Amino acid sequence: MTGLRVLIAPDCFGDTLTAAQAARAIAAGWRAARPDDRLILAPQSDGGPGFLEVFAAGSGTLRRTPVRGPLADLRTAAWVYDADSRTGYIESAQACGLAALDGPPTPQTALAAHSGGVGELIGAALAAGARRIVVGLGGSCCTDGGRAMIDALGGPVAAAAALTGVELIAATDVEHRLLGPMGAAAVFGPQKGADPATVALLERRLRDWSAVLDRLAGTPVSEQAGSGAAGGLGAALLALGARRESGAAVIAEHTGLHENLAAADLIITGEGRLDDQSLHGKVIGTLGGAARARHVPLIALVGQLELDDAALAAAGIAAAAALADYAGSTELAIADAAGQLQGLAARTAADLGHLEDRE
């Protein structure tokens, strides 16, 4: 079998490769081994870092706005405005992502980091005339429940008034709720530098703030799926009237992913770490379900692989390979991510050809 139609639809690889860079690296390696295949590049995002890049490649205009970073600094954050649809696309990580810390996260930064810059980006979108605002959630370094975001918009009442009549969409990468053992502080706080004592303090702060959000919304938004996204930014957006949508689904619609899936003989995807969280609201989980429904094989090329064969099969993933294993070390996989991913893609494509020859 030759001349396959191969859909290449990876997410970003952490801070090492954007989704677009990963797609290009995979395509280069694949072409080297299988030049007759037709490749369709469709970089994806689940709402975290790289979310904005997909929209910037479309019809919207990339804008840059100075905002408060997650600590005391000022930073320039990018966002996209589509004047035709009057839609603003915001990536929360641009204002309060882990990369904005300029250093490793610590318990101190976990407590101090805030979401004020996201509120300033929403304000910029409103000032530009946006009547629809899509906020991609993920990759944040803060766990403030969106309190600073709401404060940047003038406080709960003023923020709600400013967004009256605006279609607000929270594009989430996780389904976790705001509070509890599977909430924003407990699950994601340690990834943001929080030690056990800091996690407990963050949980108490979120619980106090959640009462304000629930009153604002007139319903317990803190109990809704996705309210724990991006350190609780999800809860704040829901309290302001947002509709929650899967970030992966928002990107899929924007990039015509479903049409590309229908035409594909094979799907190649990837991300930094393939683990159980990848299967719940993230790109690989979404693609796995779609691939299984269409009986199209899906191969995942990832930075690190933490699922066994049974879990992969249940998720609709036919095969997976880890960049760290191919490179021989995690250090090389990170230092030469594009080159190693290109090599892994070439090897995977060559192995596919060998299987076809035996058939």
Confidence of residue 359 (pLDDT cuts 50, 70, 90): very low
Confidence of residue 237 (pLDDT cuts 50, 70, 90): very high
- What is the arrangement of strands in the sheet containing 243-246, beginning at the earlier edge strand? 61-68, 74-82, 87-91, 132-136, 167-172, 243-246
What's the CA dihedral at 48, 303, 109, 233 to 10 degrees? Answer: 20
Work out whether the CA dihedral 122, 125, 131, 137 comes out positive or negative. Answer: negative
The reported pLDDT for the residue numbered 26 is: 98
Residue 26 or 247, more confident: 26
The predicted-structure confidence for 35-93, as pLDDT tens digits, reads as follows: 999 999 988 887 777 788 878 776 789 999 999 999 988 999 999 999 999 999 999 99
Residue 154 burial by Cβ neighbours in a 10 Å radius (0-12, 13-18, 19+): middle
The answer to whether 287 and 274 are in contact (CB under 8 A) is no
Give 120's strand partners. none
- Stated pTM of the model: 0.81
Confidence of residue 274 (pLDDT cuts 50, 70, 90): confident
**What residue ranges do the domains of the chain occupy?**
5-44+256-358, 51-248
- Cα-based distances in Å from 234 to 143, 185, 247, 339, 348: 11, 13, 12, 36, 38
Task: Out of 88-97, 99-108, 178-187, 284-293, pick the least confident.
Answer: 284-293
The predicted-structure confidence for 313-350, as pLDDT tens digits, reads as follows: 888 899 999 999 999 999 999 999 999 999 999 999 99
CATH of region 5-44+256-358, choose from 3.40.50.10350, 3.90.1150.10, 3.40.50.720, 3.30.360.10: 3.40.50.10350
The reported pLDDT for the residue numbered 281 is: 60
DSSP alpha helix (H) spans, the chain: 19-33, 51-56, 92-96, 107-112, 116-128, 147-152, 156-162, 196-217, 229-239, 247-254, 257-263, 283-294, 309-314, 323-327, 330-335, 337-358
Confidence of residue 358 (pLDDT cuts 50, 70, 90): very low
Helices 229-239, 196-217: crossing angle, 10 deg rounding: 10
Domain 51-248 has CATH 3.90.1510.10: yes
The reported pLDDT for the residue numbered 167 is: 98
The predicted-structure confidence for 161-219, as pLDDT tens digits, reads as follows: 999 999 999 998 788 999 999 999 999 999 999 999 999 999 999 999 999 999 999 99
The reported pLDDT for the residue numbered 118 is: 98
Asked whether residue 309 carries a pLDDT value surpassing 50, the answer given is yes
Q: How far apart are CA 237 and CA 249, in angstroms?
A: 18
Is 71 strand, coil or helix? Answer: coil
DSSP for residue 298: E
Q: Which amino acid is at 22?
A: A
Taking Cα atoms as reference points, which of 27, 7, 16 lies closest to residue 323? 16
- Cα-based distances in Å from 228 to 18, 173, 313, 337: 24, 10, 28, 30
Q: How far apart are CA 134 and CA 242, in angstroms?
A: 9
DSSP string, 118-139: HHHHHHHHHHHT-SEEEEE--S
The predicted-structure confidence for 123-132, as pLDDT tens digits, reads as follows: 999 999 999 9
